[in-house]
Structure 1
């Protein structure tokens, strides 16, 4: 049988206090009473109610004072405020402080009963979600993230602590480690869940279009601007915006971004007026942000503004013990996606997964599992034959490329020549897969494309 929800009633007028207690207890709630905010706070500490119904104007400590103390103490109970006629402004102040709802005096019993029922349902839902999250974390799962290892559990703990807030977070890690999954999990565990989650890869946007993509533009703001267009901030209104590969954003755009973060206002390109924005901003980079600041590609003031909290995603090679759990989760997802029923992996495949260096990290594992699920027999196991040719080859030793020679550089070659040779040989090794080559080289796809354009120009002009 369900335990009745505990409701504390705080009211200085005795007849109103007794009347509310009798009314609410008659609806099946357990009730306690207090005559002012100080006594009410003491009852909260001693009795731990789920809901507090409090008057606003009381001696010693009023309702706003009680609500403030409860908020500062981190209590997550629902507070329902009673307001006298003409005190709507105070009720609004109470809502800003975190009150669940308010009701005017004289109290409408039907409305109060509805508010109490809604608050109880919300508290029950939050409790269920908290229990579910705790159970999932104990089983090595948080959102779309999987891992029992110490490093991943540390990431989970940090995500759970900061997800409910609106602070900016800087997420770092090598390409493919799951930085966007961290951002999505932060969004899904916040009260912004259900609102837009917008992810923007700054490396994939041409510099000439960057400001328009981020901030939007008015019709006629520049050549080709045929109509008004909302930017990423507007698309993410009341939700979360992830700026991926932040270090690839032009310095001038970074300055404008900093102003939006500080003032919570933006102006579309070509607009005369500013508009308010309510967006939680997360940023991600596969570079060391302090190195980027030192190199001048990331503004130091923007770095400090975004780096309120820092989450670092470890490379897969540093938490190999999580690979079996990750594989099981990916296998279930890929079976559902492709309508397959692959049962699992052979022992030889599991051994190869543990030996592999994983330069592409979790993204590489995901792509590998999708390929294997498609090739493996329905109801059977993934075998070595279903893995790419040469998978598991150690990357620490020279790899024969093209004509059978390993990558070598003549003494006296310039850094530019060595860089060009490494890029072209890596492209040969990946079968001209630029995304894979960029991951192996540890650069963004945009940087790789720029280098290839530079080499093409040099070749056409006779430079190489």
Structure 2
């Protein structure tokens, strides 16, 4: 007997149909989450572990039939009901062959749907399972989501398992979240995952990078503007808060927002109302706000870069992503995953790493974190046409002193701190590129802004 209401995941790209079906199922006493595409659905299946999936057949990117195949591979015991407005006999037969427990046509007959859902859940309860939680995912699926991956994240280190647990907990709340971590650790991926696992998953996810918006356009970008509000404003335009209504707004690099705009942002967050630039009417919205920064936020407050009251408003919940160098064996795991991905992209057989290549990569401090690792693996895959990634396919600065090199090898003194290694790496890369910051940033797998910020912090003029 279930000790909780059954969980049902609804997958459909039609927001109106999705919303009506969600309300109907909740009225019948079920826990419901929704997704508008297959990628979100798979993420929710891994983390939320629904007892039943209701999926449309015709969707962008991945069809309901393809999703059914994927879900059956993950857990053959989880029932899936397919829905479509364009049913054919052949389609229904194919769906049942693949493993759908039923195939219903739109518009739905809701009394019939209720009976089908109850029967599917009753049959699922009769199947023997080894999990401690009734009608949860299979042991294979649970292992994948709790020990190896969560949504786009992958890793088996203790640090990442703690992050998976924290993200799941944070997703259950609707409070503001501040995500911190070095460049390249995956702050936007964390924000997207929190959204995908939350009750707002069926709504929009709007990401805005404060560091990438010209200062003079930032107010309009965030708050919107009316026609004629300024030169060039030929049409009215909603801001990101309005676009994220009933969903999640992610403010990346919040520490780069001009200080004069921060009081207005704070007021908007507190009141859940916005007035466009040049407008008179206030617009209400329902948005969950996530923010991120690669700065130390408390230090940014002390230095007057970030207002203290805005920091407290955003930092209701805090997620700190660990740098790659603190994630143990995750480096090899990620490298092999990226090698498989880029082998498929660039053609040829799947590249694999020689043991010594992986040893060098695990010893390297990765100042650009996962982004740098991903870029480096793609480079190695392109060079390793014969199928094996040897040390010679890695950049010289990755190879430790005993590695064979053609010159420019990155060496660091015994006992050097991670900060010393990072500084030496940045400076050597700048030397090798003739102080070309754009090229150095590309090799390091970081942004040009990060290179400039590091040099400023070290008080080095190049």
Q: TM-score range by the shorter chain?
A: 0.5 to 0.7
SS at match of 1:296: coil
Q: Which residue of 1 aligns with 2:183?
A: 175
Count of equivalent residues = 333
Select between 187-196 and 169-178 the one with higher mean Cα deviation.
187-196
Q: 1:451 to 1:366 in 2, by over 3 A?
A: closer
Q: Deviations over 1:381-414 (max 9, x none)?
A: 11122222333358xxxxx99xxxx9xxxxxxxx
Find the counterpart in structure 2 of residue 275 from structure 1: 283
Cα distance 1:272–1:154, how it changes in 2: closer, same or farther (>3 A)? same
Contact 1:342/1:377 (CA < 8 Å) preserved in 2?
no
Could you tell me the TM-score, scaled by structure 2's length?
0.63
* TM-score scaled by length of structure 1: 0.62
Aligned 8 A contact 1:133 1:142 in 2: no
Give the root-mean-square deviation of aligned CA atoms.
Answer: 3.9
Q: Do residues 390 (structure 1) and 397 (structure 2) align?
A: yes
Which moved further from structure 2: 213-222 or 193-202? 193-202
Unaligned runs of at least 5 residues, structure 1: 1-5, 7-46, 53-76, 82-109, 395-399, 407-421, 453-457, 459-463
Partner of 2:419: none
Residue 225 of structure 1 corresponds to which residue in structure 2? 233
Distance 1:381 1:441 in 2: 23
Cα 1:49–1:159 shift into 2, 3 Å = closer
Aligned ranges 1:391-406 → 2 under 5 Å: 391-392=398-399
Q: Is 437-446 or 201-210 further displaced after alignment?
A: 437-446
- 2:438 is aligned, of 412, 434, 440, to 434
Structure 2 residues not aligned, in runs of 5+: 8-24, 30-108, 125-133, 402-406, 413-424
Which protein shows a greater Rg?
1
| Separation in 2, partners of 1:363, 1:283 | 19
1:41-440 to structure 2, matched below 5 A, reads 48=3, 50=5, 80=28, 111-115=110-114, 117-118=116-117, 134-377=142-385, 380-392=387-399, 427-430=430-433, 432-434=436-438, 436-437=440-441
Q: CA deviation at 1:331?
A: 2.1
Match of 2:93 in 1: none
Name the SS for the 1:204 alignment partner: coil
Listed one character per residue, the Cα deviations across residues 338-392 of structure 1 (whole Å, up to 9, x for unaligned) are 34432310112111101112111111101001111122125x1111222223333
Q: Which moved more, 1:153-162 or 1:128-137?
A: 128-137
Change (3 A) 1:308 1:221: same
1:224-272 CA distance string (max 9 Å, x none): 2122122222332322221111011012222121122222111111111
What whole-Å deviation, never above 9, does each CA across 1:279-322 have from its counterpart, x for those lacking one?
Answer: 22111111111111111111111111111111111111112321
Q: Distance in 1 between matches of 2:361 and 2:455?
A: 33
**Is the alpha carbon distance of 1:50 and 1:196 closer, same or farther for their aligned partners in structure 2, counting shifts above 3 Å?**
closer
Question: In structure 2, what is the Cα distance between the partners aligned to 1:300 and 1:130?
Answer: 46
Cα distance between partner residues in 1 of 2:315 and 2:135: 31
1:201-236: CA deviation from partner (whole Å, max 9, x where unpaired):
111112111111111111111122122122222332
1:444 Cα deviation after fit: 7.4
For residue 115 of structure 1, report the CA deviation from its aligned partner: 3.8
* C-alpha distance 386-207 of structure 1, shift in aligned 2 (>3 A): same
Whether the 8 Å CA contact 1:175–1:439 is kept in 2: the answer is no
